[in-house]
Structure 1
Amino acid sequence: MEFAQRLVALVETGRRQSTYKLATMMAIMDVCVENQPRPDGTLAIPVQELAHRVVAYYWPQVRPFAEYGPLRQSKSAPPVILKLVGDARELLLDRGVRTPEAAREAEDPDYLRMVRSVELILAKYPLTHLQTPTRQLAHLRNDFIYDASAFHNNVTRRELEQHGPLVLRPGVAEALRDFAPLLKPMIEMVWVGDVVACNRQALEHDDIAGFLFGSERSHLLSLRNPLRELQDGRCFYCDRMLPAEVHIDHVLPWSKVPIDGVANLVLVDAACNLDKSAMLPVRVHVDRAVTRPAGDLSSIADLTGLPVLKTRTVNAARGIYGTLPPGVPLWRAPKQYAPHGNLS
């Protein structure tokens, strides 16, 4: 609890010129949810892995927001990372590559070149200053998350490669995984506030939150027919025949862990989707989703251009359910719930 309190205080009082630090902190947490720490409690995270995940957060955010156009996420000059992501996104969409995960799986050279640029920017700025309080309290800096001594504003790629991965201090990965359900919504709320403050328009917080952190559903529409065939025309959750109007659902909710992979996506009816909303389902639903025939999932991935991401889904489920307190209600079916730990 002390670690979580320190992190909250850092987010609330830390120096920020852009949303880089918030995106980096979210990326670190996502890695902790999906990966087990070493026996000594540390967790090594390649900076390039953080770059991939920061890119994934910004990917939908560089779209124009209604009539306002692209939203500013900096108090001064437009952040370079958003420009890099925006340019790469436009280029890749023209080639039919719709998600950063798909570009990563395909090892697209333009995408990988962009990620390497983002990697160096992360090392120079957010990773250097992430643990720095306000300017007035800079002398109180304490690298309680990771040792940042190798990062600085002029770090070179050679220095970064020689340094190797960022290593979270003992116990930090476990704490971030355990407190992610509380910390992520708080950081998202701060992020929304920063974006509203950076833009002169009268923006509604709720509208901005949905735009920044909601799943970009348009690229999932191609899944409808293949998933309908895979599921024999039945809702994944209730097994009733699907109507003409169907919903695509993230089995592990997008708000918990942003995984847009075929292994985490199912076709459901409106009743199930609206009732489940952002709740965690009983574990059996996740197990059923990830154990669908690998060949079928791969065929759907090839057909739609979306990656499978089975390993990420399995690892995320292990991290989420493994730290969930007993008794937490999990969604089973419309109006039906089961406490975690009770054969869920």
Structure 2
Amino acid sequence: MEIAMSIPSAEEQLKFITNIQRILDEGSFVATYKFALLMSLADYAIKSGNDSADHCQLTTHDIAESFVEYYWRQAIPYAHHKGTVRVLKQGTGLQPVVISRIIELHQQFQGSLAAVRKNHRVWRTLLSKVASTIGQMPLWKLQMVGRTFIPFLYDQHGSGNLINLKHGVVFCFRRFYDLIRNLVQSTWIRHVRMLNVEIIGESDLAEFLFGSERSVLPGLRAMLRDIQANECFYCNTQLREGGDIDHFVPWSRYPLDLGHNFVLAHATCNRSKRAFLAAPCHLENWCKRNQLHGNILRQEFDTLRINHNLEATEKIVVWLYSQAEVSGASLWLRKDDVTPIDLSWRNILVV
């Protein structure tokens, strides 16, 4: 029987984070591709569902979709208070080629990434182009600091679309995802601000680049109200008004705008839950909803052009509750009532 490799030591984990910081602080960034690549690798680790520290082989096609998702929101024209409206620059020269194509498709499909995905020819062509670009440019420059390579993520071949993530890399990406996301996004924001200083000013660039897409999901509230029989997802009482569209997995824990992550709740329940993970009773109801109404949800998400992937969503949920268990987190039950996490979530998610 093959035995999984041991997890990285505390010293190795610290070295991993230090190297991530060195890439961000000391690396050369002509365009923002390296930021998207680093986050796509981290997302791959989360969605893999693999908590071991083993080596992991992947291709640029495995991370191309995540790469597109990061730039899709950023293809929205930015409106400056003085009247200037344009897509923010992501490179020192002309707009990088992948971003230019995403901008074209954003306009062609009226901002709907779900509609692009449904056009299989266009979607496959886009992913192929993105995968090729990743292999040609950022993949083999990501680990360069100054004039030196620090190949701590994968061996530095210099070309090709295939890499082998080293021992402990997936583990560290999963363990430190929140920290890595904050580090990458803050550096990405500073870089974009520098490239677009004449139109950005002092606006909230973080919300524009990485904020939630809830405001551009027409029809979602009505669909959720029907599925939930006009009841709040959490307290099961009648919704008196429209209700709040809530991320079941809080946005601050993981930026998940896939359809199955949305529920409809009272504004008071939504505000009380904040950034907490939900207690087992709510987790069980969420799983039952996705199972009982699975076909209807998929059909409605497609009709409303809302991205959805239940398998990926469930893997992210498992990872989050695993992290909460390790840290001994509290889970939200109702109003100001929280409960310590226990092992019951594992039975619900069949870990």
TM-score higher than 0.5: yes
For 1:25, the equivalent position in structure 2 comes to 38
For 2:65, the equivalent position in structure 1 comes to 52
CA displacement 1:7-66 (0-9 Å, x = unmatched)? 122222111111110111111111111213496612233311211111101101111112
1:120 maps to 2:132: yes
The more displaced of 115-124 and 216-225 is 216-225
For 2:329, the equivalent position in structure 1 comes to 328
CA displacement 1:55-102 (0-9 Å, x = unmatched)? 101101111112342111222322212111111122222xxx7225x5
1:78 maps to 2:95: yes
Shift of 1:307: 4.0
**Structure 2 letter corresponding to 1:340:** I
For 1:110, the equivalent position in structure 2 comes to 122
- For residues 57 and 206 of structure 2, the distance between their equivalents in structure 1, rounded to whole angstroms, comes to 31
- The alignment-based identity, stated in percent, is 27
For 1:319, the equivalent position in structure 2 comes to 319
- For residues 273 and 168 of structure 2, the distance between their equivalents in structure 1, rounded to whole angstroms, comes to 33
The 3-state SS of whatever aligns with 1:71 is coil
Q: Does the 8 A contact of 1:235 with 1:242 survive in 2?
A: yes
The 3-state SS of whatever aligns with 1:59 is helix
The 3-state SS of whatever aligns with 1:233 is coil
Q: Does the 8 A contact of 1:192 with 1:205 survive in 2?
A: no
- For residues 272 and 205 of structure 1, the distance between their equivalents in structure 2, rounded to whole angstroms, comes to 33
| CA RMSD, 1 decimal | 2.3
1:259 maps to 2:268: no
- For residues 229 and 284 of structure 1, the distance between their equivalents in structure 2, rounded to whole angstroms, comes to 21
- For residues 263 and 194 of structure 1, the distance between their equivalents in structure 2, rounded to whole angstroms, comes to 33
1:199 maps to 2:196: yes
Q: Does the 8 A contact of 1:326 with 1:340 survive in 2?
A: no
- For residues 147 and 178 of structure 1, the distance between their equivalents in structure 2, rounded to whole angstroms, comes to 22
Q: Does the 8 A contact of 2:51 with 2:171 survive in 1?
A: no
Shift of 1:148: 3.1
CA displacement 1:117-176 (0-9 Å, x = unmatched)? 111111111101010012xxx23x12110123052xxxxxxx54xxxx432111100111
CA displacement 1:93-118 (0-9 Å, x = unmatched)? 2xxx7225x533x3531122122111
Shift of 1:181: 1.5
The 3-state SS of whatever aligns with 2:95 is coil
Shift of 1:342: 7.0
**Structure 2 letter corresponding to 1:60:** R
TM-score by length of 1: 0.86
1:329–1:39 CA distance, 2 compared to 1 (3 A): closer
- For residues 103 and 290 of structure 1, the distance between their equivalents in structure 2, rounded to whole angstroms, comes to 28
Q: Does the 8 A contact of 2:251 with 2:275 survive in 1?
A: yes
**Structure 2 letter corresponding to 1:331:** W
Aligned counterpart for 1:144 among listed residues 139, 149, 152: 152
1:40–1:272 CA distance, 2 compared to 1 (3 A): closer
The 3-state SS of whatever aligns with 1:166 is strand
- For residues 237 and 142 of structure 1, the distance between their equivalents in structure 2, rounded to whole angstroms, comes to 48
- For residues 62 and 203 of structure 1, the distance between their equivalents in structure 2, rounded to whole angstroms, comes to 15
For structure 2, the 5+ residue unaligned runs are: 1-13, 346-351
1:74–1:43 CA distance, 2 compared to 1 (3 A): same
- For residues 284 and 49 of structure 1, the distance between their equivalents in structure 2, rounded to whole angstroms, comes to 34
TM-score by length of 2: 0.84
Q: Does the 8 A contact of 1:127 with 1:148 survive in 2?
A: no
Q: Does the 8 A contact of 1:21 with 1:126 survive in 2?
A: yes
For 1:299, the equivalent position in structure 2 comes to 299
Moved over 6 A (4+): none
1:203–1:329 CA distance, 2 compared to 1 (3 A): farther
Shift of 1:262: 2.5
For 1:155, the equivalent position in structure 2 comes to none
For structure 1, the 5+ residue unaligned runs are: 152-158
- For residues 199 and 158 of structure 2, the distance between their equivalents in structure 1, rounded to whole angstroms, comes to 41
Aligned counterpart for 1:98 among listed residues 98, 105, 112: 112
For 2:4, the equivalent position in structure 1 comes to none
Shift of 1:205: 6.1
CA displacement 1:260-317 (0-9 Å, x = unmatched)? 3222111112112233334433354344323311223223224323244110111111
